[in-house]
């Protein structure tokens, strides 16, 4: 089922080119955010990032709606994007606040109990909460668009979808991670090749190891200084390309897997037999 969904996702990317707009638009905004961050324009970087985050639900909804209707025309894409924008946005906002509250409720008792080790424990707690939410809520947008569900119904459907075939869903997640690693390794190779003349002397001299890793702001400033203006542009461009390639694939793969599971479950629920006249009797 996972492999069949993978092949279908690749076919959808060819059949419906507008799905790529999600990755292109989000990739551009993310690349600009990285460029502005490394250039020291953190104020504008935050605004660009927020703008990109607000655009994501529209393109995700448009892509999923076009896949559901099997129509990749611009009119259908725009219609589905507008129709289901808040169906995708509101559950995401709810998940964000729920994750923050959960992390806070868990981290406070841990900080009291562990004392000096509270920072490491808080980091592990935050990571565990985020991964747990992502595991069970990953399909909420697909459920919201395909089944036209509200905030809580789409989250519930996503969790039930994962639990009903947990092993196959984990394999699906593993395939996504493998695809991301493949694109990521390719991007790192490209980034290193483009900036080799700049990075090689620094690595040989040991300047990279001398960065003050305890101060994130200082590390960012030192890294930007080492890259220079051209290196910052290359970094932002490679980062944008990774998102532009992976996000459309993730959307199409998720939609294909969700629909294939739905088709299998619908077929499995139709248990019965035909009589001698060809009439169907459901048990």
Full-model pTM? 0.84
219: which residues sit within 8 A by CB, 6+ positions away?
211, 212, 213
Token readout for 234 is 């290359």
How does pLDDT run across 239-270, given as a tens digit for each residue? 999 999 999 999 999 999 998 865 445 433 44
- C-alpha 58/C-alpha 158 separation (Å) is 20
Q: Which residue has the tokens 């259908």?
A: 76
- C-alpha 53/C-alpha 265 separation (Å) is 34
Are the beta carbons of 157 and 142 closer than 8 angstroms?
no
- C-alpha 272/C-alpha 281 separation (Å) is 5
Lowest mean pLDDT among 9-23, 175-189, 197-211, 269-283: 269-283
- C-alpha 157/C-alpha 161 separation (Å) is 6
What pLDDT does residue 264 have? 43
How does pLDDT run across 168-204, given as a tens digit for each residue? 999 999 999 999 999 999 999 999 888 888 777 666 6
pLDDT at 151 over 70: yes
């Amino acid at each position: 089922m996972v492999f069949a969904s993978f092949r279908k996702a690749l076919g959808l990317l060819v059949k419906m080119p507008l799905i790529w707009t999600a990755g292109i638009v989000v990739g551009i905004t993310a690349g600009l955010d990285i460029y502005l961050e490394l250039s020291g324009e953190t104020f504008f970087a935050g605004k660009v990032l927020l703008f990109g985050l607000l655009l994501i639900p529209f393109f995700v909804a448009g892509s999923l709606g076009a896949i559901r209707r099997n129509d990749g025309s611009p009119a259908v894409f725009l219609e589905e994007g507008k129709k289901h924008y808040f169906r995708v946005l509101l559950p995401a906002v709810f998940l964000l606040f729920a994750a923050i509250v959960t992390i806070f409720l868990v981290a406070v008792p841990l900080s009291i109990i562990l004392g000096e080790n509270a920072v490491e424990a808080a980091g592990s707690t935050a990571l565990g909460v985020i991964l747990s939410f992502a595991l069970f809520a990953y399909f909420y947008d697909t459920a919201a668009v395909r089944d036209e569900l509200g905030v809580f119904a789409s989250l519930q459907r996503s969790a039930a979808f994962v639990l009903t075939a947990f092993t196959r869903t984990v394999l699906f997640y593993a395939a996504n991670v493998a695809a991301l690693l493949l694109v990521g390794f390719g991007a790192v190779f490209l980034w290193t090749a483009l900036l080799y003349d700049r990075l090689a002397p620094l690595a040989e001299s040991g300047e990279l190891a001398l960065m003050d890793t305890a101060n994130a702001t200082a590390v960012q400033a030192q890294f930007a200084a080492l890259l220079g203006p051209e290196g910052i542009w290359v970094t932002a461009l490679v980062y944008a390309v990774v998102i532009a390639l992976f996000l459309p694939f993730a959307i199409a793969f998720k939609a294909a897997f969700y629909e294939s599971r739905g088709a299998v479950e619908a077929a499995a629920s139709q248990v019965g037999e035909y009589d001698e006249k060809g009439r169907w009797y459901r048990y």
